Amino acid sequence: MISSKIIGTGTFIPSIKKENKDFLNEHFLNEDGSSFDSDNDVIIEKFKAITGIEERRYAKPEYNSSDLAYFAAQKAIDDANINQEELDYIIIAHNFGDVKVGAVQSDMLPSLATRVKHKLGIENPNCVAYDILFGCPGWIEATIQAHAFIKAGMAKKCLVIGSETLSRVVDRYDRDSMIFSDGAGACILEATEEANVGILSHATQTFAKDEAFYLHYGSTFNKEENQDVQYIKMLGRKIYEFALVHVPAAMKFALDNAGVEIDDVKKIFIHQANEKMDEAIMKRFFRLFKKKVPEGIMPLSIRKLGNSSVATVPTLLDLVLKGEIENQEVNKGDVVIFASVGAGMNINAIVYRF
């Protein structure tokens, strides 16, 4: 039976480092435009305690999201050692397109996938390029779609990318702006007939009855600024509570369908949204099996890289595979889980064996 496996990964981590102390002079406001009672050093310390974030990366002004995607894609292609003309699909997950510094519009015409194909110089017209907007779980969902194409016999090799420049869609007066960062991660997915290798199972859900606008576009908290310019906004508490209930359930559903025992899971690559939330999700997940969370099962990059949305999971995977995260590795035969939650509200998970 045909399945799909990852044969190469790549990431692009922007060079501009923004530490928490760099926000000390910002003027953070409440949603109603009023000032906080606390000084910024207190706000920032509480922020770090909750999210775990110490610093984040921003892209250089001359680079847009499609540039970051291209850089990560080229690394993945080189890592896989393939002829890029053999790619059947290029799928890019993002949420805001190319946003130039100082711009108030996003640019998605042509698609970012088309732009990456152009930058790579791929001439093959049968290499289909398209974008997917699916919130932070976008890269995992794009990987699931590529897997479906491969299983259906419609593709043999796919390039899947997650890229974002969130630093350009945040409201500087909103303390949540400190969460977000820029980056890109990519992988090459290839058809395989190896038994019990690659993607074993997956799960996806969309909750849109009451949860649709937990993440949304909204105006700046500074009422003296242009209220027609829109920025990323989120209902943090509702997202936290939602994730704790639904992400562990989706992960368990995928694991049960894979026929894999919980004790065989070696790593869980979860969306780097909030360190404390991710730790709580892990506890809830293992509690479903009446187990404690194994030490070292959840690699982290959020402390130094922040939350780059669709880019966090492929970036984390690449860093672990390349030995860039201390005391974290994946070996042949290891079972891992990829999981994410984000705007939609969307949730997904993949169970994968290396």
- Tokens of residue 147, six digits: 């897997």
- Band of residue 336 on the pLDDT scale cut at 50, 70, 90: very high
CATH number at residue 55: 3.40.47.10
Q: Do residues 304 and 327 both lie within one domain?
A: yes
- DSSP letters of 99-151? --TT-SS-B-SS-HHHHHHHHHT---TTSEEEEE--STTHHHHHHHHHHHHHH
What is the per-residue pLDDT for 24? Answer: 93
Contact call for residues 164 and 95 (beta carbons, < 8 A):
yes
Q: Do residues 229 and 177 both lie within one domain?
A: no
Q: Do residues 206 and 281 both lie within one domain?
A: yes
pLDDT digit string (tens) for 195-230? 899 999 999 999 999 999 999 999 999 999 989 999
Q: Which residues contact 196 (CB under 8 A, 6 or more apart)?
A: 353
Q: Do residues 153 and 211 both lie within one domain?
A: no
Structural domain span for residue 159: 3-196
What is the per-residue pLDDT for 341? Answer: 97
What is the per-residue pLDDT for 132? Answer: 98
246 closest CA partner among 210, 222, 216, 217 = 210
Domain boundary among 196, 213, 231: 196
Instruction: Give the burial class of 340: count Cβ atoms within 10 A of its Cβ; 0-12 exposed, 13-18 middle, 19 or more buried.
Output: buried
Q: Do residues 340 and 213 both lie within one domain?
A: yes
- Band of residue 103 on the pLDDT scale cut at 50, 70, 90: confident
117 closest CA partner among 74, 81, 147, 79 = 74
Q: Do residues 123 and 243 both lie within one domain?
A: no
Contact call for residues 197 and 324 (beta carbons, < 8 A):
no
What is the per-residue pLDDT for 37? Answer: 87
Domain boundary among 196, 230, 257: 196
What is the per-residue pLDDT for 199? Answer: 97
Instruction: Give the burial class of 6: count Cβ atoms within 10 A of its Cβ; 0-12 exposed, 13-18 middle, 19 or more buried.
Output: buried
Q: Do residues 159 and 218 both lie within one domain?
A: no
pLDDT digit string (tens) for 38-65? 899 999 999 999 999 999 999 999 999 9
Q: Do residues 203 and 189 both lie within one domain?
A: no
Q: Which residues contact 298 (CB under 8 A, 6 or more apart)?
A: 267, 268, 270, 278, 279, 282
Q: Round the average pLDDT of the chain to a whole number and report it.
A: 96
- Band of residue 163 on the pLDDT scale cut at 50, 70, 90: very high
- Band of residue 104 on the pLDDT scale cut at 50, 70, 90: confident
Q: Do residues 218 and 79 both lie within one domain?
A: no
Domain boundary among 129, 161, 196: 196
Q: Do residues 31 and 81 both lie within one domain?
A: yes
- Tokens of residue 155, six digits: 């593709």
Q: Which residues contact 51 (CB under 8 A, 6 or more apart)?
A: 178, 179, 274, 275, 276, 302, 307
162 closest CA partner among 189, 124, 136, 128 = 136
Cα angle: 61, vertex 64, 68; to 5 degrees: 110
For the packed helices 275-287 and 236-258, what is the interaxial angle rounded to 10 degrees?
40
Residue 334 neighbours by CB distance under 10 Å: 14
Q: Do residues 308 and 336 both lie within one domain?
A: yes
Question: How many angstroms separate the CA atoms of 89 and 55, rounded?
Answer: 34
| Portion of the chain with pLDDT greater than 70, in percent | 100
Number of domains, the chain: 2
- Tokens of residue 201, six digits: 């199972």
Q: Do residues 184 and 58 both lie within one domain?
A: yes
- Band of residue 1 on the pLDDT scale cut at 50, 70, 90: confident
